[in-house]
Amino acid sequence: MAEREHPAAVKVPLFSAARERVGEIEVAGAVFGRTGDKSILHEAVKMQMANRRSGTASTKTRGFIAGGGKKPWRQKGTGRARAGSIRSPLWRHGGTIFGPQPRDYSYKMPKQAWRRALCLALSDRAANGKLVVAQSLELAEPKTKAAKAMLEALGLKHALIVLGEGEETFFRAARNLAAHKVLSLAGLNVYDVLNYDEVLMSEPVARAIEARLVREAR
Protein backbone atom coordinates (compact mmCIF):
# COMPACT_ATOMS: atom_id res chain seq x y z
CA MET A 1 0.00 0.00 0.00
CA ALA A 2 1.33 3.41 -0.94
CA GLU A 3 1.87 5.77 1.95
CA ARG A 4 -0.60 8.60 2.23
CA GLU A 5 0.35 12.24 2.40
CA HIS A 6 0.96 13.72 5.82
CA PRO A 7 0.37 17.31 6.92
CA ALA A 8 3.28 19.70 7.06
CA ALA A 9 2.68 20.25 10.77
CA VAL A 10 0.39 19.04 13.55
CA LYS A 11 -0.51 20.62 16.87
CA VAL A 12 0.10 18.73 20.09
CA PRO A 13 -1.24 19.86 23.50
CA LEU A 14 1.29 21.17 25.98
CA PHE A 15 0.71 20.42 29.66
CA SER A 16 2.09 21.59 32.95
CA ALA A 17 3.35 19.13 35.57
CA ALA A 18 -0.19 19.10 37.03
CA ARG A 19 -1.78 18.07 33.68
CA GLU A 20 -3.17 21.55 33.11
CA ARG A 21 -3.25 22.46 29.45
CA VAL A 22 -1.13 25.56 29.03
CA GLY A 23 -1.17 25.71 25.25
CA GLU A 24 -0.02 23.68 22.28
CA ILE A 25 3.07 23.25 20.20
CA GLU A 26 3.39 22.78 16.47
CA VAL A 27 5.51 19.80 15.43
CA ALA A 28 6.44 18.26 12.10
CA GLY A 29 3.71 16.19 10.51
CA ALA A 30 6.33 13.92 8.97
CA VAL A 31 7.18 12.71 12.49
CA PHE A 32 4.04 13.13 14.60
CA GLY A 33 1.31 13.20 11.95
CA ARG A 34 2.29 10.43 9.58
CA THR A 35 -0.27 7.97 8.21
CA GLY A 36 0.04 4.94 5.98
CA ASP A 37 0.42 1.18 5.97
CA LYS A 38 1.07 0.11 9.57
CA SER A 39 2.26 -3.37 8.65
CA ILE A 40 5.76 -1.92 8.86
CA LEU A 41 5.21 -1.65 12.64
CA HIS A 42 4.91 -5.42 12.76
CA GLU A 43 8.17 -5.78 10.86
CA ALA A 44 9.96 -3.40 13.22
CA VAL A 45 8.70 -5.16 16.36
CA LYS A 46 9.53 -8.58 14.91
CA MET A 47 13.08 -7.40 14.22
CA GLN A 48 13.49 -6.06 17.76
CA MET A 49 12.21 -9.29 19.32
CA ALA A 50 14.53 -11.35 17.13
CA ASN A 51 17.49 -9.17 18.12
CA ARG A 52 16.71 -9.80 21.79
CA ARG A 53 16.84 -13.59 21.46
CA SER A 54 19.84 -15.06 23.24
CA GLY A 55 20.31 -17.88 20.71
CA THR A 56 21.99 -20.10 23.32
CA ALA A 57 19.99 -23.32 22.71
CA SER A 58 22.47 -26.13 22.27
CA THR A 59 22.29 -29.91 21.86
CA LYS A 60 25.10 -32.49 21.85
CA THR A 61 25.93 -34.37 18.71
CA ARG A 62 27.69 -37.71 19.05
CA GLY A 63 31.01 -35.88 18.91
CA PHE A 64 30.27 -34.04 22.18
CA ILE A 65 29.19 -37.06 24.24
CA ALA A 66 31.71 -38.90 26.40
CA GLY A 67 32.32 -42.59 25.74
CA GLY A 68 31.54 -44.68 22.74
CA GLY A 69 35.09 -44.85 21.45
CA LYS A 70 35.13 -48.63 21.42
CA LYS A 71 33.09 -50.69 18.99
CA PRO A 72 30.52 -52.48 21.20
CA TRP A 73 30.87 -55.85 19.43
CA ARG A 74 32.44 -57.27 16.36
CA GLN A 75 31.04 -56.48 12.95
CA LYS A 76 29.87 -59.97 11.99
CA GLY A 77 28.89 -63.23 13.56
CA THR A 78 26.90 -62.07 16.59
CA GLY A 79 23.46 -62.00 14.99
CA ARG A 80 23.03 -58.39 16.03
CA ALA A 81 22.97 -55.27 13.91
CA ARG A 82 26.23 -53.63 12.96
CA ALA A 83 27.19 -50.92 15.45
CA GLY A 84 30.21 -48.69 15.69
CA SER A 85 29.50 -46.67 18.84
CA ILE A 86 27.15 -46.70 21.81
CA ARG A 87 26.76 -42.92 21.29
CA SER A 88 25.02 -43.37 17.95
CA PRO A 89 21.94 -41.14 17.58
CA LEU A 90 19.92 -44.32 17.22
CA TRP A 91 20.82 -45.45 20.73
CA ARG A 92 19.55 -44.33 24.12
CA HIS A 93 21.87 -41.66 25.54
CA GLY A 94 23.23 -41.17 22.04
CA GLY A 95 23.83 -37.91 20.24
CA THR A 96 21.19 -35.66 18.70
CA ILE A 97 20.77 -35.38 14.96
CA PHE A 98 20.46 -31.84 13.59
CA GLY A 99 19.61 -30.37 17.00
CA PRO A 100 19.71 -26.61 17.67
CA GLN A 101 23.11 -25.01 18.07
CA PRO A 102 24.03 -21.52 19.37
CA ARG A 103 23.20 -18.96 16.70
CA ASP A 104 22.60 -15.26 16.19
CA TYR A 105 18.97 -14.46 15.37
CA SER A 106 19.51 -10.73 14.92
CA TYR A 107 19.04 -8.91 11.65
CA LYS A 108 18.52 -5.35 10.47
CA MET A 109 15.77 -3.73 8.47
CA PRO A 110 16.55 -0.77 6.19
CA LYS A 111 17.17 2.44 8.14
CA GLN A 112 14.56 4.37 6.20
CA ALA A 113 11.94 1.71 6.96
CA TRP A 114 12.89 1.73 10.66
CA ARG A 115 12.55 5.52 10.87
CA ARG A 116 9.20 5.39 9.09
CA ALA A 117 7.98 2.79 11.57
CA LEU A 118 9.12 4.92 14.51
CA CYS A 119 7.32 7.96 13.07
CA LEU A 120 4.15 5.91 12.56
CA ALA A 121 4.28 4.68 16.16
CA LEU A 122 4.70 8.23 17.51
CA SER A 123 1.97 9.50 15.18
CA ASP A 124 -0.42 6.81 16.42
CA ARG A 125 0.12 7.89 20.03
CA ALA A 126 -0.34 11.55 19.11
CA ALA A 127 -3.51 10.89 17.09
CA ASN A 128 -5.10 8.93 19.95
CA GLY A 129 -4.26 11.46 22.67
CA LYS A 130 -1.66 9.16 24.23
CA LEU A 131 1.29 11.48 23.65
CA VAL A 132 1.78 13.76 26.66
CA VAL A 133 4.18 16.65 26.17
CA ALA A 134 5.03 18.49 29.38
CA GLN A 135 6.65 21.87 29.74
CA SER A 136 9.35 20.39 31.94
CA LEU A 137 10.25 17.20 33.77
CA GLU A 138 12.49 18.75 36.37
CA LEU A 139 12.71 17.61 39.98
CA ALA A 140 14.46 19.31 42.88
CA GLU A 141 16.05 16.02 43.93
CA PRO A 142 16.09 12.44 42.57
CA LYS A 143 13.34 11.01 44.80
CA THR A 144 11.15 8.19 43.50
CA LYS A 145 8.26 9.49 45.58
CA ALA A 146 8.44 12.86 43.83
CA ALA A 147 8.55 11.26 40.37
CA LYS A 148 5.59 9.03 41.20
CA ALA A 149 3.60 12.03 42.43
CA MET A 150 4.29 13.94 39.22
CA LEU A 151 3.24 11.00 37.04
CA GLU A 152 0.04 10.57 39.04
CA ALA A 153 -0.69 14.28 38.64
CA LEU A 154 -0.25 13.85 34.90
CA GLY A 155 -2.73 10.98 34.98
CA LEU A 156 -0.25 8.38 33.70
CA LYS A 157 -0.55 4.75 34.77
CA HIS A 158 1.58 2.85 32.26
CA ALA A 159 3.84 5.25 30.44
CA LEU A 160 7.04 5.28 28.45
CA ILE A 161 9.04 8.28 29.65
CA VAL A 162 11.51 9.64 27.10
CA LEU A 163 14.19 11.85 28.59
CA GLY A 164 16.90 14.00 27.07
CA GLU A 165 19.88 16.02 28.19
CA GLY A 166 19.55 17.79 31.52
CA GLU A 167 16.83 15.43 32.79
CA GLU A 168 19.10 12.99 34.63
CA THR A 169 17.43 13.81 37.96
CA PHE A 170 14.06 12.59 36.75
CA PHE A 171 15.73 9.52 35.24
CA ARG A 172 17.25 8.56 38.58
CA ALA A 173 13.96 9.20 40.36
CA ALA A 174 11.68 7.25 38.02
CA ARG A 175 13.83 4.31 36.93
CA ASN A 176 12.59 2.10 39.79
CA LEU A 177 8.89 2.57 39.07
CA ALA A 178 7.56 -0.81 37.95
CA ALA A 179 4.56 0.52 36.02
CA HIS A 180 6.62 2.85 33.85
CA LYS A 181 9.77 2.69 31.77
CA VAL A 182 12.36 5.43 31.51
CA LEU A 183 14.23 5.65 28.24
CA SER A 184 16.87 7.99 26.92
CA LEU A 185 16.23 9.86 23.69
CA ALA A 186 18.93 7.82 21.94
CA GLY A 187 17.14 4.57 22.87
CA LEU A 188 13.70 5.51 21.54
CA ASN A 189 12.29 2.52 19.67
CA VAL A 190 9.10 1.19 18.09
CA TYR A 191 8.50 -1.71 20.49
CA ASP A 192 8.51 0.40 23.66
CA VAL A 193 6.35 3.14 22.11
CA LEU A 194 3.70 0.55 21.23
CA ASN A 195 4.10 -1.50 24.43
CA TYR A 196 3.11 1.32 26.77
CA ASP A 197 -0.27 3.01 26.99
CA GLU A 198 1.12 6.55 27.01
CA VAL A 199 4.30 8.30 25.97
CA LEU A 200 5.58 11.17 28.11
CA MET A 201 8.25 13.64 27.10
CA SER A 202 9.17 17.24 27.71
CA GLU A 203 8.92 19.92 25.05
CA PRO A 204 12.72 19.99 24.47
CA VAL A 205 12.72 16.23 23.90
CA ALA A 206 9.84 16.52 21.43
CA ARG A 207 11.84 19.14 19.53
CA ALA A 208 14.93 16.91 19.62
CA ILE A 209 12.97 13.96 18.20
CA GLU A 210 11.56 16.22 15.52
CA ALA A 211 15.02 17.49 14.58
CA ARG A 212 16.45 13.97 14.46
CA LEU A 213 13.72 12.33 12.41
CA VAL A 214 12.19 15.04 10.22
CA ARG A 215 14.97 14.94 7.61
CA GLU A 216 15.05 11.14 7.32
CA ALA A 217 11.25 10.78 7.44
CA ARG A 218 10.66 12.66 4.21
15: buried, middle or exposed (CB in 10 Å: 19+, 13-18, 0-12)? buried
Within 80-215, strands assigned E span 131-134, 159-163, 181-184, 198-202
pLDDT at 18: 83
Q: What b/e readout covers 83-110, taking b as 16+ CB neighbours within 10 angstroms?
A: bebbbbeeeeebbeeeeeeeeeeeeeee
pLDDT > 70? residue 3: no
- Write the pLDDT tens digit of every residue in 127-182: 999 999 999 998 889 999 999 999 999 999 999 999 999 899 999 999 999 999 99
Partners of residue 24 on adjacent β-strands: 13
Sheet containing strand 131-134, edge to edge, reads 21-28, 9-15, 131-134, 198-202, 159-163, 181-184
pLDDT > 80? residue 116: yes
**Domains, the chain, ranges and CATH?**
9-53+107-213 (3.40.1370.10), 55-104 (no CATH)
> What is the DSSP secondary structure assignment for residue 71, as one 8-state letter?
-
pLDDT at 5: 64
- Write the pLDDT tens digit of every residue in 6-46: 788 889 999 998 888 999 999 999 999 998 889 999 999 99
* pLDDT grade for 215, boundaries at 50, 70 and 90: low
SS3 of 193, please? helix
Dihedral sign computed on CA atoms, order 51, 216, 184, 161? negative
Angle between helices 111-127 and 39-52 in degrees, nearest 10: 110
Relative to beta strand 21-28, strand 9-15 is: antiparallel
- Average pLDDT (84-93) is 94
pLDDT > 60? residue 216: no
